[in-house]
């Protein structure tokens, strides 16, 4: 494998910064291989074995990390950046706190209004992030409401079944 032929993100990162990748492998108690293509294989195995901590370390050594953060609208190297179109900054946390107090109907109205504002200002990344955040909360809340309604329906059916069963038992006892 040569530098220009990376097959995936792990290949790309390891091939661009092999010394940093070797440090990660070493940090987790393994001997980093001398050959870069072997280092890629070891890193993939380490990702499979350890998961998220390794992925976070790979993100931290990504050769274009600063550029990616800048393009995605992040002003600095934010350690809480999750890679999901939102850094969940203090502003987003405040918005989530406000959203938690709203009903589903109010959330739907806020989503529609914010979406309309975002269409009017397509370059406003903060507004687009708000639309995503509101949408995520609205979806979560709708699922929650459906689950509660489903539980209530199940409880009603259970009560009716118990009432019928009690009627049958009482009827047999009297006969």
Digitized pLDDT (tens) for each residue of the chain, 175 residues in all: 455 554 688 888 999 999 999 999 999 888 999 999 899 999 999 988 888 888 889 988 998 888 777 776 665 544 444 444 444 445 555 676 677 777 888 888 888 998 898 899 888 888 888 888 888 888 888 887 788 888 888 888 899 999 999 999 998 888 7
**CA 118 to CA 127: how far, in whole Å?**
6
Domain regions of the chain by residue span? 3-71, 90-174
Structure tokens at 25: 């492998």
CA distances from 60 to 13, 57, 69, 161, 174 (A): 10, 5, 11, 58, 76
Contacts of 143 (CB under 8 A, 6+ apart): none
**CA 164 to CA 144: how far, in whole Å?**
30
**CA 95 to CA 171: how far, in whole Å?**
59
């Amino acid at each position: 494998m040569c530098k220009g032929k990376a097959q995936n993100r792990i290949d790309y990162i390891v091939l661009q910064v092999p010394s940093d990748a070797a440090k990660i492998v070493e940090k987790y108690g393994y001997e980093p291989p001398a050959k870069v293509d072997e280092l890629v294989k070891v890193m993939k195995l380490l990702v499979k074995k350890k998961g998220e901590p390794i992925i976070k370390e790979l993100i931290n050594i990504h050769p274009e990390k600063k550029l990616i953060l800048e393009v995605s609208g992040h002003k600095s190297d934010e350690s809480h950046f999750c890679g999901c179109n939102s850094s969940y900054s203090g502003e987003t946390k405040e918005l989530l706190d406000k959203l938690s107090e709203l009903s589903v109907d109010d959330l739907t109205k806020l989503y529609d209004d914010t979406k309309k504002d975002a269409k009017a200002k397509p370059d406003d990344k903060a507004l687009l992030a708000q639309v995503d955040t509101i949408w995520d909360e609205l979806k979560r809340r709708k699922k929650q409401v459906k689950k509660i309604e489903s539980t209530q329906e199940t409880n009603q059916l259970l009560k009716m079944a118990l009432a019928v069963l009690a009627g049958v038992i009482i009827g047999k006892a009297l006969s």
